[in-house]
Amino acid sequence: MKDTRQLEIRSVVDQVHEELLQRIVAGELPPDVALCVRLRARGTTLAEDTYRVINGEVRRRIAFSDPGIDDYRNELLWSPTNPTLIEAELELRRGTDVLDRVRSYTALRSVTVQGERVLLNGRVQPLRMVLDQGYWPGCGMTAPDDRAYRTDILLAKAMGFNGARKHQKIESPRYLHWADRLGFLVWEEMPSAYRFTQDSIQRLTREWTAVLDRDASHPCIVAWVPFNESWGVPDLPVIAAQRHYVQALYHLTKTLDPTRPVIGNDGWESTATDIIGIHDYDGDTDRLARRYGHLESLPQLFRHGRPGGRTLTVEGHPFAGQPVMLSEFGGTAFSDREGSWGYSRVLTATEFADHYRALLEAVRSSELLAGFCYTQFTDTFQEANGLLHMDRTAKFPLEEIAAATRGPGHTYSPVVDAPDDEEEEDEGAEPTTV
């Protein structure tokens, strides 16, 4: 008999409050097969079960024993400070014969919005993020090696950030693997179309759904961003079809993955979104502090605020109490390269450090903001507004950057590589794909 078995395994990472995992096996399979599932974390077996495959698929939720003690529960939850991964081994069996075997990982964590705050695992999670376009010297958008992804995440964490907004780039699964393992939050953003056409609509929608399918099992991803700054929908406030497109992708994303917030159009002109993302490159720190300092500023902000010359929400789609995040700010250039560019410019390293401290103090002290995303991680060709040069050397000491990013009372965490044996063991071990 021709062997036509096919094994596909999917995971859901957000069933944190019930402490459940879901596994799906689908495909054309021989009769009388069963799926054996083993889940382990921190050297402890959490579950070991076998399920009969009926009509070609298995759908199960696996409940872990619950001692009712928060400390024990929290040890199993994935977060930037405690990135617990659950090792998964799945065997497809027919009698005593093993037909197929998969080893991977998953995690327990939830991400939600509640009022003006973002919650991770049911607790308020301040977002300290950095905009990262993912370019390297000499090789552009392709990393020189796997270590480069890990180094970038460790550098960002060493500067006090707990996440990155991957800007106009769907990053390699290897980057997401290291973000899962090292505890680093990721906003995944779709590269924008140039024009609003039937072809661009169909292509972007097709590619975006493929992105969701490939990456939704990564616990590090905490938000989806299908549009940025109305790129590809330039007349969104006045053309209904463009508003419908943004709304349609927002709702399609929420349908395909109801477990994460979706930022429909980051920056301005929001019509459908779970988080209001604002791009504001005002370099006047006193003005920033007044604009975002207090909750009482919200009505004024949404009536009259026009960062980039655009309204924050489109007429007919008023602010509905979502979390507000300064998802692009800063952008200060410090470089002696001819032709380099930034939203503002300083001339010395001391001036750059002082300006960064003042900007971060204004933003961190805000009652209004759920988080921030600084522009940007490294210089990117003519854009000289990185905290690091493009070769990843710092423009002022990492510990000083971290102190400004996190504020008083922080503990500096230097860059520490994972051991080589861990790297070899995990090479190619991606999370199962939804």
Task: Answer with the residue of higher pLDDT: 394 or 57.
Answer: 394
- Domain count across the chain: 2
Which of 46, 76, 109 marks a domain boundary?
109
pLDDT score at 414: 66
Q: What is the pLDDT at residue 426?
A: 45
Higher pLDDT, 53 or 197: 197
pLDDT at position 247 is 97
The pLDDT confidence band at residue 10, using thresholds 50, 70 and 90, is: low
Q: What are the Cα distances from residue 288, in Å, to 303, 346, 365?
A: 17, 18, 11
**Same domain assignment for residues 356 and 380:** yes
Which amino acid, one-letter code, is at 300?
Q
Task: Name the residue range of residue 14's domain.
Answer: 8-109
Q: Is the pLDDT of residue 385 over 90?
A: yes
Q: Is residue 29, in this structure, part of any structural domain at all?
A: yes
Cis preceding-peptide flag for 247 (omega within 30 of 0): no
What average pLDDT does this structure show over 405-418? 71
Q: Check residue 48 and give its pLDDT.
A: 92
* Domain match, 275 and 183 both: yes
**Pick from 210-224, 254-268, 296-310: least confident:** 296-310
Mean per-residue pLDDT over the chain, rounded: 88
| pLDDT (0 to 100) of residue 427 | 43
Structural domain includes residue 47: yes
| Same domain? 225 vs 166 | yes
pLDDT at 433: 32
Asked whether residue 427 is assigned to any structural domain, the reply reads no
Residue 316 and residue 192 share a domain: yes
d(CA 200, CA 226): 13
- Determine the pLDDT at residue 425: 44
In which element (H, E) is residue 204 found? Answer: helix 198-215
**Going by C-beta distance under 8 Å and a sequence separation of 6 or more, which residues neighbour residue 133?**
166, 167, 168, 169, 376, 377, 380
Q: Is residue 405's pLDDT more than 50?
A: yes
Has residue 22 got a pLDDT over 80?
no
Q: Identify the pLDDT of residue 339.
A: 84
pLDDT at 26: 60
Judgement on whether residues 90 and 220 belong to the same structural domain of the protein: no
3-state secondary structure of 4: coil
Closest C-alpha among 301, 289, 295, 367 to residue 329: 289
Q: Is the pLDDT of residue 296 over 70?
A: yes
Q: Is 414 within a domain? A: no
Q: Considering the domain boundaries, does residue 3 fall inside one?
A: no
Residue 26: give its domain's CATH number: 2.60.40.10
pTM attached to this predicted model: 0.90
Instruction: Return the axis-axis angle of helices 198-215 and 173-182, rounded to nearest 10°.
Output: 40
**Per-residue pLDDT for 330 more than 80?**
yes
The predicted structure's pLDDT at residue 337:
85
Runs of H (alpha helix) within 293-397: 298-304, 349-364
Least confident of 54-68, 82-96, 309-323: 54-68
Q: Are residues 141 and 78 in the same domain?
A: no
Q: What is the pLDDT of residue 57?
A: 78
Same domain, 255 and 301: yes
Residues 266, 161 share a domain: yes
Residues ≥6 apart with Cβ < 8 Å to 265: 226, 227, 228, 229, 230, 233, 236, 246, 271, 273
Residues 72, 134, single domain; the answer is no
Least confident of 58-67, 116-125, 318-327, 422-431: 422-431
The residue among 92, 109, 126 that closes a domain is 109
DSSP per residue, 391-433: TS-BSS-HHHHHHHHH-TT-------PPPHHHHHHHTT-PPPP
Same domain, 87 and 226: no
Q: Is residue 43 included in any domain, yes or no?
A: yes
Region 102-116 average pLDDT: 94
Greater model confidence, 7 or 379: 379
Res. 108: pLDDT tops 90: yes
**Same domain membership, residue 145 and residue 208:** yes
